[in-house]
Amino acid sequence: MRFEIEDELDKHKTSCVLRPITCPNEGCGDVFSALHVDAHDASCVYKLLPCFLECESSVQRKEMENHCATVCPMKKIKCPYHTVGCPHVMAQGLLESHCTEYVGQHLLETLQHVQNHDVALQAHAQSLLFVEKAVQLAQRSEAVSVGNMNVTVKEQENRVKLLEVEVKKLKENLKATDVSAEVLQLMRELRNLQKQVESLSSSSQSAR
């Protein structure tokens, strides 16, 4: 576009869609043509916006999420006594007045919670006591079983020794070619007892 009069050019400069514009939002400083003012304004992270939760603050677009999630007085929060039973949910800015208004109820709810907690602790302590007694009984039973097994092993070992002595005496009194039925029977009993002793010894070691 050409202008023959300088005044017309000056007038056009103030309305030209391609004239350079500097973003007015504090902290931005971007420069763009007037044609893109609306597009930049819709996305500029430094633009001040009314709080999304409708508190009285104006917040930069880039800080809005953090503002609403943390310091905004309109942020919804649970009463800090909700863990003991208070059901109220309120704007963060009303917390102090809520706690003042419901101080008596909060004290009663806290006391009830403590009492319930004490009852639960007593129940757990009783359960632990029962478990400890059961463990002690099991240990005693195991000790008795192992003790009885040890006694049985010793008795069998003594019987084996006695039989060995008897067999030895009989062998000395008989000729090598004259093996009586009594000697054979004693030898069989000896072998059986030796096997029993070995089995009992293995069981005793495993129990320990």
How many degrees, rounded to 5, is the angle at CA 15 between CA 9 and CA 21?
110
Determine, yes or no, domain membership for 95: no
Determine, yes or no, domain membership for 89: no
User: What pLDDT was estimated at residue 178?
Assistant: 47
Euclidean distance between CA atoms 191 and 45, whole angstroms: 97
pLDDT of 97 over the 50 cut: yes
pTM check: above 0.85? no
Residue 165 structural domain:
127-207
Is residue 83 within 8 Å of 101, Cβ to Cβ?
A: no
H helical segments located in 54-102: 64-69, 95-101
Determine, yes or no, domain membership for 41: yes
Determine, yes or no, domain membership for 178: yes
Last residue of a domain, one of 63, 94, 110: 63
**Greater confidence, 14 or 10?**
14
Count how many domains the chain has.
2
pLDDT in tens, 52-73: 999 999 999 999 999 999 999 9
Determine, yes or no, domain membership for 158: yes
Determine, yes or no, domain membership for 25: yes
Contacts made by residues 144-152, CB under 8 angstroms, sequence distance 24+:
145/207, 146/204, 146/207, 146/208, 149/200, 149/203, 149/204, 149/207, 150/204, 152/200
What mean pLDDT do residues 189-195 have? 61
Decide: residue 89, CB within 10 A, 0-12 exposed, 13-18 middle, 19+ buried. exposed
Residue 122 banded pLDDT, cuts 50, 70, 90: confident
